[in-house]
Structure 1
Amino acid sequence: MMTSCVQRWRDRRATYRPASEPIRASDYEVARLSRDTEARAFVEAHHYSGTYPAARWRFGLHRRGELVGVAVLSQPVNDKALAVFPGGAESSVELGRFVLLDDVPANGETWFLARAFEVLARDGVAGVLTFADPEARTTSSGALVFPGHIGTIYQAHNAVYRGRATPRTLHLLPDGTVFSARAAQKVRAREQGWRYAVAQLVGAGAEVPAPGEDLRVWLRAWLPQVTRRQRHQGNHRYLWGLRPAIRRRLPPSLPYPKWTRGAA
């Protein structure tokens, strides 16, 4: 069972620390990161997804000057996800990436979140949405690269739990990372970022598309050849209101999900 531990990351590999372990706050500082450069490098190096979202706010957790954690508040893929908050996407954000290194004590996450949320509230942000992905993923050879998590740390920070998001089918690259529906959309429409998405598939074994080739046809041919399909039952969804008046307007929390013996 993983209920007595919290998840940590380094080099996109999960480890765990005892949940009762305290952080010595005097050793740490939370500060805004003014540009994407530092936050992106940290997230891409350590977060299991290896990807970076459309950031609106970035915060770094520093220990004696060393960056040991990053929180990225981002624009969700679908703005309707923020409709639960007053003002919707204009006044609320998604906690799109949240990653701490494996040597940060267990309650570092809640301490970090509290400091970041204080700044967001002063900036006029009404609420924060986040998701926890509970479903494990493996490489094509069967090695576990992502064990899944249920958002235990969000529960510890008194989030409102609102059930699971829409089920979907994932397309997994050989290394176990997800080739997202958004990436596929970029390829089909040649939107900004489509070259990187094409390179992901080429790196997995797809042929390089010819100049001027219809990428919709190319994607339809190669996506099933170089990815594996995995049915996903939906991420766990959590909400925070950053001011008392907002918290009172949120729907009631459903019972928090817990690890079962099978999930652990």
Structure 2
Amino acid sequence: METTRSQRWRERRALWARDLTVIDPKSYTVEIIDHHLARAFIERHHYLPSYPAAQLAVGLYGAGASLEGVAVFAVPTTGAVITRHTGFADPDRGCVLARLILTDAVPQNGESFFVARAFRHLRREKPGIEAVVSYSDPGVGHIGRVYCALSAAHRAVTRPRTVLRAGNTTIAGRTLSKIRLGERGHSGAIDQLVSLGLPKPGFGETPAAWLWRLQRDRHLLRHQQPGLYAYCFELTREARRNGRALPRLPYPKALPLAHPTFQFDLPDKAEGRAAGEE
């Protein structure tokens, strides 16, 4: 379905902006927020409920001081994400917009209003960051229209990849690797999968063996994900100079014809999808 209305999320369900009018900037404020507050909001509303390796979280407040949106700037899974799409040799000069979510209570154009002001906070708090990379996932109905509206450079379309899903929930590769390798945070990653209705590890069962059992018993199924649209926001003059030598593709106009139909009524997760990482 094609629509000019803004897709939003509430309680991990895809909805649409209720108001057909545009946002009144005087009715909203944009502020830096604590990570625990951002994490709780994302876990409640976002279709990607895990919290990334955040550097800065910014909130959108509406009438009555209610939190209606969150943007999270984070460390990428690999420095190559930054060097590839910004042209900076030093990956510390960039970050990823790993989560961006507004509820359906925010009027039209809320995303561009919010992101533009979130960038101001990012530059003030993290002046060493000069570019921001973000990805849009057509698999959940996103092609990056808000990024296009903000004149982000469309750098690439990533290769399709095979992921593991539990029902309608795509499990992040980073979540899976934590469990397989028993890395720090693997207990929380296990709890995340269990919260989706998957069976708990057995007594004495190692995390890696448990993950293998979930696949063997088809609690986790392989799924082919379409490629992501990669965008770069060049926030400084030097970032724009660097970007001249990099690809700048035409903006996508519509979802791919092979775009699958999803039901968004169930909790789901996919780190790096839709305002996330590659």
TM class, shorter-length: 0.7 to 0.9
- Cα shift readout 1:96-121 (whole Å, capped 9, x = no counterpart): 00000101011111111111112222
Deviation at 1:148, TM superposition (A): 2.2
TM-score (norm 2): 0.82
Asked if the contact 1:201/1:226 (under 8 Å) is kept, the reply is no
Q: 1:100 & 1:257 partners in 2: Cα distance?
A: 22
Asked if the contact 1:127/1:239 (under 8 Å) is kept, the reply is yes
1:177 is aligned to: 169
SS in 1 for 2:169: coil
TM-score (norm 1): 0.86
Deviation at 1:162, TM superposition (A): 1.4
Amino acid at match of 2:149: A
Amino acid at match of 2:31: A
Amino acid at match of 2:24: R
Q: 1:152 & 1:18 partners in 2: Cα distance?
A: 18
Listed as ranges, the matches of 1:93-242 within 5 Å are 93-122=95-124, 123-124=126-127, 125-135=129-139, 147-174=140-167, 176-202=168-194, 204-206=197-199, 208-211=201-204, 213-224=205-216, 225-242=218-235
Amino acid at match of 1:257: P
1:140 is aligned to: none
Asked if the contact 1:20/1:107 (under 8 Å) is kept, the reply is no
Structure 1 261/171 Cα, relative in aligned 2: closer, same or farther at 3 Å?
closer
Q: CA RMSD in A?
A: 2.2
Count of aligned residue pairs for this structure pair = 250
Q: 2:255 & 2:190 partners in 1: Cα distance?
A: 38
4+ runs deviating over 3 angstroms: 17-21, 199-207, 260-264
Deviation at 1:186, TM superposition (A): 0.9
As a proportion of its length, which structure holds more strand? 1
Deviation at 1:202, TM superposition (A): 4.4
Deviation at 1:221, TM superposition (A): 2.6
Q: 2:224 & 2:256 partners in 1: Cα distance?
A: 21
Asked if the contact 1:19/1:107 (under 8 Å) is kept, the reply is no
Deviation at 1:261, TM superposition (A): 7.9
Unaligned runs of 5+ in 2: 262-278
1:74 is aligned to: 74
Higher relative contact order (CA 8 A, sep 6+): 2
Asked if the contact 1:82/1:92 (under 8 Å) is kept, the reply is yes
Structure 1 249/18 Cα, relative in aligned 2: closer, same or farther at 3 Å?
farther
Indicate yes or no: 2:257 matched with 1:257: no
Q: 1:93 & 1:22 partners in 2: Cα distance?
A: 29
Deviation at 1:56, TM superposition (A): 0.1
Structure 1 261/81 Cα, relative in aligned 2: closer, same or farther at 3 Å?
closer
- Higher mean C-alpha displacement, 197-206 vs 42-51: 197-206
Deviation at 1:19, TM superposition (A): 9.8
Amino acid at match of 1:95: L
- Higher mean C-alpha displacement, 11-20 vs 162-171: 11-20
2:265 is aligned to: none
- Cα shift readout 1:119-164 (whole Å, capped 9, x = no counterpart): 22233121000010111xxxxxxxxxxx421111111111101121
Q: 1:59 & 1:69 partners in 2: Cα distance?
A: 8
Deviation at 1:179, TM superposition (A): 1.8
1:27 is aligned to: 27
